């Protein structure tokens, strides 16, 4: 679903689903203005209110998939650029600065995934307990440009965009805007539907109810053709009799004249 604030400052992309039950669905929420962005807890609640969770990442393949979706979201001409995205990783504890700190991070949806994509010198721990996916594509290389899509811990009350994750959907239910085609290592099919929708299922739902009407039209057309053909044969059979009667009447008249 895409929605806009009254000022037109927010963009929430449609849910993105694969056309099978093996892959979850995703949705990116992007806000142009910093004042419209949300804290970690607000992002978490927003995802859960729509039946999803704040993004957890199982492995590098899923990380690359999210990166490709963000590249589609921020491609030239969309007006969408810098702005980090909350993911569902956070740390429950205060003030840890020891080497054990990175092990204290957990996924808010209860995922047991141990996959991490920290960028250099992260997590910094301390009061920074919630995690964002770094997204500053206009930054110069010396200011963090090389760390695009890597993770950084931040204070949970900071304001950012966010990414939601949902259970797989096989029968999308709303119109699509545009498909995202992505390449995921190990996948042999890349049919991704931006969804809350699917073109093929909706087409099937339209075609199937029209089948009885099409059959009725075909039956009516066949009956009409049969009747026309039957009448045509009837006319052909009566023509010789009419000719015979005409000749017969003429002969009788000539006989009467001779008498």
Unique residue bearing structure tokens 């995934």: 113
Place of tokens 């921020």: 74
Rounded to whole angstroms, how far apart are CA atoms 195 and 174? 7
pLDDT of residue 107: 97
Average pLDDT of the residues in 19-39: 88
pLDDT at 54: 98
The pair of three-digit structure tokens given for residue 179, joined into one six-digit string? 């498909």
Least confident of 13-17, 91-95, 229-233, 255-259: 255-259
Predicted confidence band of residue 110 (pLDDT cuts 50, 70, 90):
very high
- Measured torsion, CA atoms of residues 202, 207, 213, 218, in degrees rounded to the nearest 10: 170
What's the pLDDT at 248? 45
Q: What angle do CA 62, 67, 71 make, to 5 degrees?
A: 150
For residue 75, the Cα-to-chain-centroid distance in whole angstroms is: 18
Secondary structure letter of residue 208 according to DSSP: G
Residue listed under structure tokens 């899923």: 62
Torsion of CA 116, 120, 124, 128, to 10 degrees: -60
pLDDT, residue 16, reads 86
Question: Taking phi first (over 0 means left), then psi (-120 to 50 degrees means alpha), and beta for anything else, what does residue 33 get?
Answer: beta
Cα atoms found within 13 Å of the Cα of residue 72, Cβ hemisphere only: 20
Picking from 146, 91, 144, the residue whose alpha carbon sits closest to that of residue 116 is 91
64-78, 118-132, 146-160, 170-184: segment of lowest average pLDDT: 170-184
Q: Identify the structural domains of the chain with CATH numbers, from first to last.
A: 15-74+81-92+104-166 (3.10.100.10)
């Amino acid at each position: 679903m895409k929605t806009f604030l009254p000022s037109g400052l927010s963009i929430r992309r449609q849910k993105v689903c694969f056309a099978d039950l093996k892959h979850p669905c995703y949705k990116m929420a992007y806000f142009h203005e910093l004042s419209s962005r949300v804290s970690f807890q607000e992002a978490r609640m927003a995802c859960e209110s729509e039946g999803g969770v704040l993004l957890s990442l199982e492995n590098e393949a899923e990380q690359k998939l999210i990166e490709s979706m963000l590249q589609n979201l921020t491609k030239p001409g969309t007006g969408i650029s810098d702005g980090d995205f909350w993911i569902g990783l956070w740390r429950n504890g205060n003030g840890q600065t020891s080497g054990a700190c990175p092990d204290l991070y957990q996924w808010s949806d209860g995922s047991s995934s141990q996959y991490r994509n920290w960028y250099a010198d992260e997590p910094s721990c301390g009061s920074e307990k919630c995690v964002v996916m770094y997204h500053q594509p206009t930054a110069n290389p010396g200011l963090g440009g090389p760390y695009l899509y890597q993770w950084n811990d931040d204070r949970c009350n900071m304001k950012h965009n966010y990414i939601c994750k949902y259970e797989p959907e096989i029968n999308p239910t709303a119109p699509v805007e545009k498909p995202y085609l992505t390449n995921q290592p190990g996948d042999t099919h890349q049919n991704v539907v931006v969804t809350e929708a699917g073109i093929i299922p909706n087409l099937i739902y339209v075609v199937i109810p029209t089948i009885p009407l099409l059959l009725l039209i075909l039956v009516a057309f066949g009956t009409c053709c049969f009747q026309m053909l039957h009448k045509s044969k009837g006319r052909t059979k009566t023509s010789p009799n009419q000719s015979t009667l005409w000749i017969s009447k003429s002969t009788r008249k000539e006989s009467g004249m001779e008498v």
